Every structure is written in structure tokens, then in C-alpha cells.
Structure 1
Amino acid sequence: MLMISIREMDKKELHTHAHRLLRECLRPLGVDYGEDTPVTKGKMGKPSLADRPDIHYNLSHANGIAACIVSEQECGIDCENVREYRPKVMSRAFSENERQMVESASAEERDLLFFRLWTLKEAYVKALGIGISYPMDKAEFSFRGGEIVTDIKGCRFRQYITGNGKYVVSVCELLNKAQ
């Protein structure tokens, strides 16, 4: 289950709001999520429900947007408000192909393209549970029409552009080995 909410609020309120989204996503699964819900943290700090290891979740929030995913597989989500792209971040986190793609995009498309790529990378490392310790430039993405193109195996990626192109939300789910 995926929930996205666009609301203007300060950073602390967005954090609380993201947890409200999680509560709503968990309710149909019979989980009464709240401040007292036992949560454990993985080696790199990724939270999970102590009493329900079969349920995986991830949260994200940025200026004006909060997002939550709940899944049967390990998952990651990242959301960003589109703003001016960051060349210094791109130089250390993007592959050469990605840098060329962003730099050759029109001025109108460059910022959105940067955040489309960035959120896919963030969602991926969050699904893995390792955060930005992963060499981000090794997770390479491109686009073919509406399709996300990557050599990364064992993952399903989705992306949503909302708010008239003002926000990008990317999701990564690790596929079960049996699939």
C-alpha cells in the first residue's frame, strides 16, 4: 500500500504526518500503530515492526510532501519537492551516463530529471536498508518513455510525479527470491 500526501507544514509536522500515513496503511493489516508500537532497527537503523516481521514499511518526507509504503517485501520510498538541481551532489552520486543525461536536458527538464534519478537512488538504498553508505553512482537509472530502465536485478521500481511536476516520489521493492 502506498500513500502520498501533499501539505504545507513544517519539518516536524511532516515527520508526524508521515507516521499518521503509516498508521492508516497498517490499519487494514490489523496493526494498531502508535507511539507505543514496538519497533526494532536494523544494522544501519532501518526500522521494522518488532511483532510483525512479515510487514515492511518505509517513510519519507520533504518540503510539502509526505509518503509511506507498506509491503510484504523489503521496500524503500523517497519523495522530494523539485527545486534547482545540485551539481555537487550529482558529481559524487550519479554515474557518468546520468550526469550527461541531466546536463544535456533542457533547462525546463533538468531539475525534474535530477530529482527523478535522485529519488530512485534513495528509494533503492532505503529498500536495501543501508542508506547512503552504498556507492550511489553504481545504482544507475535512465528512462525510456514512461519506463524506468536499470540493470539492478531483483527489484521493482515505480515513480510518481505529482503536484503538476512539483514533487517526485520513487518506490523500490525487493522481490522475493521465489519470484
Structure 2
Amino acid sequence: MVVVQGYVKIKVIKGTDLVVRDLFRSDPYVKLSIGEHEAKTRVIRNDLNPTWNEELVLAVPDPPLPLKLFVFDKDIFKADDKMGDAEIDLRTLISAAKLSAGLVFQEGMNVRKIVATPENYFAKDSVIKFRDAHIVQELTINLQHVEKGQIELELRWEPCNP
């Protein structure tokens, strides 16, 4: 039996400089998964710099599995083309939320900074901050297994027992 320790609310903000997978364009969407659970954004037609601003929610088991992100080009008459992927370790976000439980923070206060490295796929340093009474991580991910492209996300931790 899988024990759920909480939920991560993922705001898929935008993609930047995504690859062309059709003749001159792509119709991108993002698929997210944690273990068996999946969610995806809507398709944005003819756009290599799409703005989704969509919030998706996935359950996080205990112990936490990574958040897997896949970008696809939607096709009608053939299988969707891969436009890159990445994997995000949720343990830093969860530990920051647990350590800050019961503490008083000022709105917008930075709780932790994660330096971008080739191992974490961050395009720039990621910040975990206190916003709207929640712990939120802002990050921009370099897509892997593809020539170029980035996805900007915001992760918000929601424990099962606040």
C-alpha cells in the first residue's frame, strides 16, 4: 500500500526556446508524473515559447519519488513527438516545508536557495520562499535529451496533515 505524505501543486508557467518537431512549428504540452500518477497541460498550437499558467496537482508518496516532466508536440495522424524531459527531486522542497512548519515568516521571505548544477538541470538558481502561507519553489528547468528548451515552474507543497 502506498502512503501519501502530501501533494505538490505544480504551476506550469511557460516554455522557452522549445524545439521544432513538425515542419516549421510545434504544438507543445507538458506531461507530469510521480510514480503512477499523471497530469498534463493543454496543447498550445504553433508556439515555441508557450505560456500555460496551468496548475496541476499530484500526490507524493512516502518516501517521495521524483517529479518527472515530459514535453511533447501534439500530432494528429502519428504519435506525439518528444520535445525533452527532466526529473525534479522533491526532497528539498518537502524538507524545507517540514523544517519551516510552525515558524513565522514574512511574506516573500526566502527560505532556501538551490544552486543550479548540471546534475539538477536548473537553468538558474532556484529559490524556495514563503508566499501566501505556503512554501513555494520557483525553478526553471533545462530540458534533457533535446537540443534546447526550458520550462518554468512553481512548486507548492501541501502536506496531508497541515
Given the two structures, how large is their TM-score scaled by the length of structure 1?
Answer: 0.27
The higher-RCO structure (CA 8 Å, 6+ apart) is 2
Given the two structures, how large is their TM-score scaled by the length of structure 2?
Answer: 0.29
| Higher helix proportion | 1
